[in-house]
Structure 1
Amino acid sequence: MRKWWINPQYASSEAGERFGDIDHVFALDGETMAQDSLSRVLRVGVGGKRYYVKRYTGNGKNLRRRWFGLRRWLGPPRVRAEWRNLLAFRAWGIPTATLVAYGLERRFGGFLRGALVTEEIPDTMDLAYLAQSNDPRLADRAWLTQVSRQIARLTRTLHDAGFAHNDLKWRNLLVDGGPSPTVYLIDCPSGNYYRGTILEYRIVKDLACLDKLASKTLSRSQRLRFYLAYTRNSRLDNGDRQRIAKIVGFFDGRD
């Protein structure tokens, strides 16, 4: 069984032809941007634009379950979670990559392969690269304030929906080169919905992922202003202080 979807905006274009079905997508050649045991990401040029093609041939990172062959039938495929989450971000007003095509193939009810194609967001870099390269924009107070507030707002939007990204690191946040920068959230195959104490734990994890590099790049006052923007409050209460302690200590002994 195959399911494949093309964004109507691209259906009659050269991109629509190149990404028209799952066989075409798995036959593509391009520049390998990332690869692991589950997926491979290619960058492909079509009609003067560049696209990212993420192809999955595995489902899940639990080696034991994959070894016994159970992961093909247990739980939603990661590729489906990834396109579902990108569609949710757009519905919530969070800037993200435009989905061009996506779908999957099953055999005898088990996951066989899947893929999604997104258009490249031009003139963007991820925040982790900016930090590693000591980009001067990180020392620009006005620029940093705009970026920090956008990240706080989009993170709060996720959490208000009962959703946690689960890998909310600087490398998954792109920022463009305009004078009024826009932040884009990308790459979310492991994000999901939670409730109660599990949601709170996942919220702490998301905020800790953001703070991991922020603690090495930003001042304490800048990090505090981000947290206050996230909570939409002007000062901390006891609950905030307890959560901050969990955020700061989240990765202790894990690295």
Structure 2
Amino acid sequence: MALMKKNSCYLRQDLAQAWADKPVFDAVANIDGEIFRDKEGRRTLRFELNDRSYFLKYHQGVGWTEIVKNLLQMRLPIISARNEWQAIHFLEKHGIETMTLAGYGEKGINPATLRSFVITDDLVNTMSLEYVGEQWQQRPPSFATKQALIRKLANMAGTMHKNGMNHRDFYLCHFLLDERFAEHNTFEDKTPVYLIDLHRATIRHKTPKRWQIKDLGSLYFSASRVPLTKRDKLRFMQIYSGLPLRTLLKEQADLWREVQHRAQRLLAE
């Protein structure tokens, strides 16, 4: 994927028309809406414009103190919304459902004062897979529904990792599906599941094993309340890897052992 140039900007036609007489970064910086986050140089909010609902993530510069703090903690600082829009492009390219871009941009050179934004369509009338465990404790799904959802998540994770992207926040709460699932409790292979919250995602030529482990361990941990059998887990592993079960257990035993250890550590915290 080609990197965007500095001081670049894209607006879909609906936003371009609405802000035709305004400097884009001024318009974005002054948007009012329902705020979900406003700290460390980043604002996340939902806003409405011409009867449409959008999500905005606006980065106004994190400052050198925040950058140095992250580096000292051996963490890659998030200084731009670029990660998010590049991850969306990546997922679209590889057939993984995610948010729909309405606009993005970046302005500046100094990493401490870099201004950037990403705007996506609001995924209205959706619910998080975080609640599936609770729901299935009371209302167990059909065999077909459970297997279809396992296939879906395993294919999403496998496709993402095989093509070089790791999410770094890969929990069930960052998968959304139609909120009517809470009523009908059924899922099919064609049912959309949207992967969100991509600001920490990293794209490389190949996903390092340690980041596979972190993503998969986080997903396994977040599914701790979902009633999964040993066969369910083996099915996920097989679909994710694309390997026959015998080969999988022989060649990837260390990977899946580390995934389980990470999930157990998270559960113990």
Identity, % of aligned positions: 23
**Residue 52 of structure 1: how far off its partner (Å):** 0.4
Confirm or deny: 8 A CA contact 1:52 1:119 kept in the other structure.
Answer: yes
Among 217, 221, 224, the alignment partner of 1:212 is 221
**Residue 186 of structure 1: how far off its partner (Å):** 1.3
1:239 is matched with 251
**Residue 234 of structure 1: how far off its partner (Å):** 4.3
| Separation in structure 1 between the aligned mates of residue 172 and residue 97 of structure 2, nearest angstrom | 15
Alignment of 1:49 with 2:61, yes or no, is no
Confirm or deny: 8 A CA contact 1:18 1:25 kept in the other structure.
Answer: no
Among 98, 115, 118, the alignment partner of 2:117 is 115
Question: What secondary structure is seen at the aligned counterpart in 2 of 1:209?
Answer: helix
Change (3 A) 1:172 1:62: farther
| Separation in structure 1 between the aligned mates of residue 252 and residue 173 of structure 2, nearest angstrom | 26
Confirm or deny: 8 A CA contact 1:172 1:186 kept in the other structure.
Answer: yes
Confirm or deny: 8 A CA contact 1:60 1:78 kept in the other structure.
Answer: no
Question: What secondary structure is seen at the aligned counterpart in 2 of 1:40?
Answer: strand
> C-alpha deviations, 1:63-102, integer Å up to 9, x for none?
461699xxxxx98833111111111111111111111011
Change (3 A) 1:234 1:129: same
| Separation in structure 1 between the aligned mates of residue 25 and residue 262 of structure 2, nearest angstrom | 40
**Residue 226 of structure 1: how far off its partner (Å):** 1.6
Question: What secondary structure is seen at the aligned counterpart in 2 of 1:216?
Answer: coil
5+ unaligned residues in a row in structure 2: which ranges? 1-5, 182-186
The TM-score normalised by the length of structure 2 is 0.77
**Residue 140 of structure 1: how far off its partner (Å):** 3.6
RMSD over aligned CA atoms reads 3.3
> C-alpha deviations, 1:192-240, integer Å up to 9, x for none?
13467x7111111111111012133231332332222212234242233
* Bigger Cα displacement from structure 2, 141-150 vs 242-251: 141-150
| Separation in structure 2 between the aligned mates of residue 165 and residue 247 of structure 1, nearest angstrom | 15
* Bigger Cα displacement from structure 2, 113-122 vs 187-196: 187-196
Confirm or deny: 8 A CA contact 1:19 1:101 kept in the other structure.
Answer: no
Among 65, 68, 79, the alignment partner of 1:65 is 68
1:174 is matched with 176
**Residue 141 of structure 1: how far off its partner (Å):** 3.0
Question: What secondary structure is seen at the aligned counterpart in 2 of 1:250?
Answer: helix
| Separation in structure 1 between the aligned mates of residue 133 and residue 100 of structure 2, nearest angstrom | 26
| Separation in structure 2 between the aligned mates of residue 126 and residue 87 of structure 1, nearest angstrom | 22
> C-alpha deviations, 1:148-205, integer Å up to 9, x for none?
2121111111111122111111111111247642111111122213467x71111111
Alignment of 1:250 with 2:262, yes or no, is yes
Question: What secondary structure is seen at the aligned counterpart in 1 of 2:9?
Answer: strand
* Bigger Cα displacement from structure 2, 160-169 vs 124-133: 124-133
| Separation in structure 2 between the aligned mates of residue 199 and residue 61 of structure 1, nearest angstrom | 28
Question: What secondary structure is seen at the aligned counterpart in 1 of 2:56?
Answer: strand
> C-alpha deviations, 1:14-71, integer Å up to 9, x for none?
4x66997111111011011234424221111223321101111244998461699xxx
The TM-score normalised by the length of structure 1 is 0.81
Question: What secondary structure is seen at the aligned counterpart in 2 of 1:111?
Answer: coil
Confirm or deny: 8 A CA contact 1:137 1:143 kept in the other structure.
Answer: no
Q: Structure 2: which amino acid aligns with 1:147?
A: L
Confirm or deny: 8 A CA contact 1:127 1:170 kept in the other structure.
Answer: yes
5+ unaligned residues in a row in structure 1: which ranges? 69-73
Q: Structure 2: which amino acid aligns with 1:208?
A: G
1:90 is matched with 92
